[in-house]
Structure 1
Amino acid sequence: MSGVTEHVEVAVPVRTAYDQWTQFEEFPQFMEGVQEVRQLSETMTHWTVDIAGVKREFDAEITEQLPDERVAWRSTGGTQQAGVVTFHRLDEAKTRVTLQLEFEPHGVVEQAGDKLGIVDRRAKGDLERFKTFIERRGQETGAWRGSVDRPQP
């Protein structure tokens, strides 16, 4: 497995940043290569992505969700990926958003991209685009304030 950690500071309250992140179907507006995300249920999403011309579809399960703190997920079948995004209140109007991803690169193109740091740059770019997206709006497009408890081992 490979991994990446990136963060960005956004000039919105923690609740606004968190609420926007829970709007998974909006991800194509700021995530490079994400063509579509469909919310199938409170804890399941279906992703369509295009990475370096390779189209993939997979489902991801939200494994933990704590309002204003964190959202964690893992793919189910196919593409192996897991991650967590955390939200840290810096002050009333500023939040640090940290993204941690773990993934298994498949095929020559993905393995080469991993070695060249393409995933790191894409994650950083996605967070910068999230910053621009939410700061320009000044408010979230929606919110899901429910909790998902971490599964017990």
Structure 2
Amino acid sequence: MAVSRPLWADVERRPASLRHVGRVDPVDARTFAWQLSLPGVDEVFVAEPTEVVPEERIARRTTEGVRHAGVVTFHRLSDAENRVTLRTEYEPKGLVEHLGALTNLDATLADYDLGEFRRTAEHEAGHR
């Protein structure tokens, strides 16, 4: 029986739990090519982890394509409850990205995807 990696650690499975991520393909052992499908914009970038603390924190930055950096942290609140936080920093390029930043659409889409991630993680936890 194969042991599955936790959802947070399995980059290639993220498109199944994040609606706006079209694909994630490994480039090498450390970097992954991401394809995002956002309203009015499709983005492609290559990212690498800059810090990984299992079950606590994953930080990453882009090395090619759209420039941004981010960190996701996992906080255990109890045996049945966790908090996941996401922080992403980027400089909007072009009209669509500037409008997304001004109207908080970027934050809304990130919140939506975090909700999808939560539902997927809860579903997997319920089937163990």
Aligned CA-pair RMSD: 1.8
* 1:137 is aligned to 2:121: no
Distance (Å, rounded) in 1 between the aligned partners of 2:97 and 2:51: 27
Asked whether the 8 Å contact 1:43–1:63 carries over to 2, the reply is no
Aligned residues: 123
Asked whether the 8 Å contact 2:34–2:45 carries over to 1, the reply is yes
Paired residue for 1:96? 83
Q: Which runs of at least 4 in structure 1 moved beyond 4 Å after TM superposition?
A: none
Distance (Å, rounded) in 2 between the aligned partners of 1:25 and 1:104: 26
| TM-score of the superposed pair, with normalisation by structure 1 | 0.74
Structure 2 residue identity aligned to 1:91: S
Asked whether the 8 Å contact 1:59–1:76 carries over to 2, the reply is yes
Higher RCO (CA-CA < 8 Å; seq separation 6+): 1
Per the TM alignment, residue 139 of structure 1 is displaced from its structure 2 partner at its CA by 6.5
Instruction: Flag structure 1 segments of 5+ consecutive residues without an equivalent.
Output: 1-17, 141-153
Paired residue for 1:75? 62
| TM-score of the superposed pair, with normalisation by structure 2 | 0.87
Asked whether the 8 Å contact 2:40–2:96 carries over to 1, the reply is no
Per the TM alignment, residue 137 of structure 1 is displaced from its structure 2 partner at its CA by 1.7
Instruction: Flag structure 2 segments of 5+ consecutive residues without an equivalent.
Output: none
Structure 1 residue identity aligned to 2:56: E
Secondary structure of 1:138 counterpart: helix
